[in-house]
Structure 1
Amino acid sequence: MGWFESYFEFERYGTTMRTEVLAGITTFMTMAYILFVNPQILSVAMGKAAFNSLVTVTALSAGITTIIMALYAKKPFALAPGMGLNGYFAYSVVKGMGYSWQVALAAVFVEGIIFIILSVTRVRSAIIHAIPLSQKYAVGAGIGLFLTFIGLNDVGLISATASGGVLQFTGLHAQVMSTKPGLLFFFGLFLTGILIAMRIKGALLISILTTSILGWITKAAPWPHSLFSAPTLSYTFMKMNLHGLINVGALGVIFAFFMVDFFDTIGTVTGLSAKAGYLTREGKIPDAQKILLTDAIGTTLGAVLGTSTVTTYIESAAGIEEGGRSGMTALITGSLFLAIGLFITPLAGAIPAFATAPALVIVGYYMLSALKRVDFSDHTEALPAFLVLMAIPFTYSISIGIGLGFISYTVFKVFSGRWREVHPIMYALAVVFTAYFAYLAGSI
């Protein structure tokens, strides 16, 4: 006990073992929904046979990476496969662009390696300063709408498919609302909203489990045959196809994974650090390099195990709100992922789509809130942000949304006589995306 208090500097942060343990449990409860949601999303791309391995991979990548954050960076931040990026992986890269899931894993792996390199060099700070805030906020909000679209599609309220990066909307099905799955979806949606409004910890997890149980009772979904089983990695471990990345289109996929992961991590870590009271007077984050390096290692490890991008979770704020200030909080959270998540494959497999779809919609709501930070009085900032917000869900492609945003931002600034406000790196990125879109147009 004394070693933990000394290593994690309890006295420095004014915390106690009891506080840290409760904070770690709170963070786990708040983000444990990923154990059910991530396998469902990724199995769309990998097939139902991958589901058991995906539950194990989700728990293992979250547990190991969060423990690395605890022991190396000593921060109360938890990590897991990121929402939004798993949807991009499954619905855009695999289903929309036609890449195999093995190639998509290779893209995540390469993105993680790039992230690691940038995390230990000064290039990282140059890129951070080059991308305007309005674009960072817009990408986050656009991904939120993307997740909402996926949730509504999963439950059957809408029908849409993606082909070649273009969304094909095939109908709004109001009659679904009168079916058992439809009614249970809205029950879960309202239950989650009520729990969030009441500030109940673990609202998403509580809603998923409650809605599932009601679905089992009403026979809208079959009961689980068992609750626990041994973990397995047989379907996804080391299945990356690096050779399949040797084409121009794949470069856009890697770039999209990297951009979203990199800037989502920056925004999340900054927000969490501010909430925990870590920021210096100059607004800098202590041990930022360790935090970002841990995140990058998590992405690379996740790809090797067989999941989409692993990233720092904003849900860590729940543990910080409970008083968690040291790596001990993350150690508890990571340990719970390993102790519980690795063995609940049968339970996760029995969770129906109508129970997880409300979580996707609510996460979309959370992410959309970033848009309030965009200055809508400045059209050269707001219009490109709007184009990103529109393009990501309606093309089922984060990369297209980012590219359209970067190009329009640069063009609007130049033609309004404000070209000096555009960082040189943004000019280069606008040219790269213009060439990328020209390549896509030529390959159709």
Structure 2
Amino acid sequence: MGWFEEYFQFERYGTNMRTEILAGVTTFLTMAYILFVNPQILSAAMGKDAFDSLVAVTALSAGITTIIMGLYARKPFALAPGMGLNAYFAYTVAPKYGWRVALAAVFVEGLIFIALTLTKVRSAVIHAIPKSQKYAIGAGIGLFLTLIGLNDVGILSAQVEGSKDAIISLGKTVLLSGTLKFTGLNTSVLLSKQVLLFLFGLLLTGVLIAMRIKGALLISILTTSVLGWITGAAPWPEKLFSTPTISYTFMKMDLHGLINAGALGVVFAFFMVDFFDTLGTVTGLSAKAGFLTKDGKVPDAEKVLLTDAIGTTLGAVLGTSTVTTYIESATGIEEGGRTGMTALVTGLLFLAIGLFIAPLASSIPSFATAPALVIVGYYMLSALKEVDFSDHTEALPAFLVLITIPYTYSIADGIGVGFISYTLLKVFSGRWKEVHPLMYILALVFVAYFAYLGGLF
């Protein structure tokens, strides 16, 4: 124990072994829902046969990367395949290019992140993005997840007729693929068993969160699933545990197909989504843990970001979408976790438990996991309170990010609209000096990105 205390600097952070272990368990319980939700989302693109492998690779990627975070970066941050990022993989990229090409894009993106982190470019960009945009991106992703959750149970749905690429599409895609049909609140399904159980799960989660019960999402998923099995809304699991397998997804990246599909657009889209998702999460967690310096910088940012980049590359090799730092790590921090020991405990729990529960995970119905998507969306939306709405040059671009991400079903599109509008508003209102030089470059990059999507080159 003396080695752990010295290595993780317990005295410096005013913590102890008991607190760190409790914090690690708390973080795991809060994040364990990803073992059920991520395979359900990704199997929509990869097929039902991929489900068992997806459970195992979700646990492996989360466990290994979180352990690296604990031992190398020594921060109480846990990682797993990212919510929002997995939806972007499954519902936007994979239907258009195929899931093997999507994995290749994630793999290449991870390599780019490793290079940018080692050269400190990534941390420089993080410090250049205005806070209002950071918070708006997180909130917009939250609405994106909420839309997916409501669509999964059929309560709220929207689609582009004639298009299989996305539920909602932007600009030229809508014009070419057909007309946008928004069905709104689907009252015809409100009294079905599935929807009633979803509403029960949503209410249960809300009550547990209000009572500050640890692992509220996991408890809700399991309770709602059991009720679904009892009422016949979903079949009972045939067994609970099995030997893990990753054969369906391991090393299945199609790098050749990525080149043929037009690597620039696909990789760039993943790059932008992952970059700013991690950006907001790392900044927010560091602030909550009291790590931020007086000038607002994240200490040891390069180590944290390098671990995140390694996780992305490893996840693609194993066969899952982008691995990223989880905002749910805040629960462990709330319990007093301040060192890498917290992350080490969380990672070990992912490996010890997550690898063997594929049969149980495959029996979890979508109406049981959909409340988790909605609640995670609620958590992420709360970041919007940090935006200064008295300053229209800050608030209006943040608002555009907030509505563009769910309405276009694209996180990257939302980020682009926000960066471009922020830069233009600052310039034309005479406040161009408030814009970091890198923001001008990023705005121009997104102009090129939209021009690419529009077929201009």
Per the TM superposition, whether the score is higher than 0.5 is yes
Structure 1, 29-38 or 374-383: larger mean CA deviation: 374-383
The match for 2:251 among 232, 238, 246 is 238
Q: Report the equivalent of 1:117.
A: 115
Q: CA–CA distance in 1 between the matches of 2:421 and 2:67?
A: 41
Structure 1, 123-132 or 172-181: larger mean CA deviation: 123-132
The match for 1:263 among 273, 276, 289 is 276
1:35 aligns with 2:35: yes
Q: Report the equivalent of 1:297.
A: 310
Q: CA–CA distance in 2 between the matches of 1:123 and 1:312?
A: 19
AA partner of residue 190 (structure 2): M
Q: 1:428 to 1:289 in 2, by over 3 A?
A: closer
Following TM superposition, by how much is the alpha carbon of 1:319 offset from its aligned partner in structure 2, in angstroms?
1.5
Q: Report the equivalent of 1:6.
A: 6
The match for 1:430 among 425, 439, 443 is 443
Q: CA–CA distance in 2 between the matches of 1:132 and 1:12?
A: 31
1:366 aligns with 2:410: no
Following TM superposition, by how much is the alpha carbon of 1:418 offset from its aligned partner in structure 2, in angstroms?
2.7
Aligned pairs for 1:135-214 within 5 A: 135-161=133-159, 163=163, 166-167=168-169, 168-171=180-183, 172-214=185-227
Following TM superposition, by how much is the alpha carbon of 1:406 offset from its aligned partner in structure 2, in angstroms?
2.0
Q: 1:289 to 1:156 in 2, by over 3 A?
A: same
Q: CA–CA distance in 1 between the matches of 2:260 and 2:435?
A: 30
Contact 2:127 2:297 (C-alpha < 8 Å) held by counterparts? no
AA partner of residue 152 (structure 1): L
Q: CA–CA distance in 1 between the matches of 2:336 and 2:304?
A: 20
Aligned pairs for 1:57-68 within 5 A: 57-68=57-68
Contact 1:298 1:311 (C-alpha < 8 Å) held by counterparts? yes
Q: 1:44 to 1:418 in 2, by over 3 A?
A: same
SS in 2 for 1:442: coil
SS in 2 for 1:80: strand
AA partner of residue 108 (structure 2): V
Could you give the per-residue CA deviations for residues 297-330 of structure 1, whole angstroms, max 9, x where no partner exists? 1111111111111111121121122222222211
AA partner of residue 50 (structure 1): A
> Runs of at least 4 residues of structure 1 off by over 6 A?
none
Q: CA–CA distance in 2 between the matches of 1:99 and 1:191?
A: 39
SS in 2 for 1:67: helix
1:272 aligns with 2:285: yes
Superposition RMSD in Å: 2.0
Q: 1:170 to 1:275 in 2, by over 3 A?
A: closer
1:89 aligns with 2:89: yes
SS in 2 for 1:159: strand
Aligned residues: 442
Q: 1:383 to 1:56 in 2, by over 3 A?
A: same
Following TM superposition, by how much is the alpha carbon of 1:249 offset from its aligned partner in structure 2, in angstroms?
5.7
SS in 2 for 1:178: coil
Contiguous gaps of at least 5 residues in structure 2: 170-179
AA partner of residue 191 (structure 1): L
Residue identity over aligned pairs, in percent, reads: 79
SS in 1 for 2:190: helix
Contact 1:256 1:402 (C-alpha < 8 Å) held by counterparts? no
Q: Report the equivalent of 1:285.
A: 298
Q: Report the equivalent of 2:358.
A: 345
Contact 2:58 2:320 (C-alpha < 8 Å) held by counterparts? yes
Q: 1:133 to 1:330 in 2, by over 3 A?
A: same
The match for 2:242 among 212, 229, 248 is 229
Could you give the per-residue CA deviations for residues 257-290 of structure 1, whole angstroms, max 9, x where no partner exists? 2233223323322332333333334443332221
Contact 2:68 2:307 (C-alpha < 8 Å) held by counterparts? yes
AA partner of residue 140 (structure 1): G
Q: CA–CA distance in 1 between the matches of 2:421 and 2:254?
A: 34
Q: CA–CA distance in 2 between the matches of 1:120 and 1:440?
A: 30
AA partner of residue 115 (structure 1): F
Could you give the per-residue CA deviations for residues 28-47 of structure 1, whole angstroms, max 9, x where no partner exists? 11110000000011111111
Following TM superposition, by how much is the alpha carbon of 1:347 offset from its aligned partner in structure 2, in angstroms?
0.3
1:439 aligns with 2:447: no
AA partner of residue 133 (structure 1): K
Following TM superposition, by how much is the alpha carbon of 1:184 offset from its aligned partner in structure 2, in angstroms?
0.3
* TM-score normalized with structure 1 length: 0.94
Contiguous gaps of at least 5 residues in structure 1: none
Q: Report the equivalent of 2:45.
A: 45
Q: CA–CA distance in 2 between the matches of 1:157 and 1:123?
A: 43
Following TM superposition, by how much is the alpha carbon of 1:52 offset from its aligned partner in structure 2, in angstroms?
0.7
Q: 1:370 to 1:157 in 2, by over 3 A?
A: same
Could you give the per-residue CA deviations for residues 215-272 of structure 1, whole angstroms, max 9, x where no partner exists? 0011100000000001111111111112233368642332332233223323322332
Q: Report the equivalent of 2:418.
A: 405
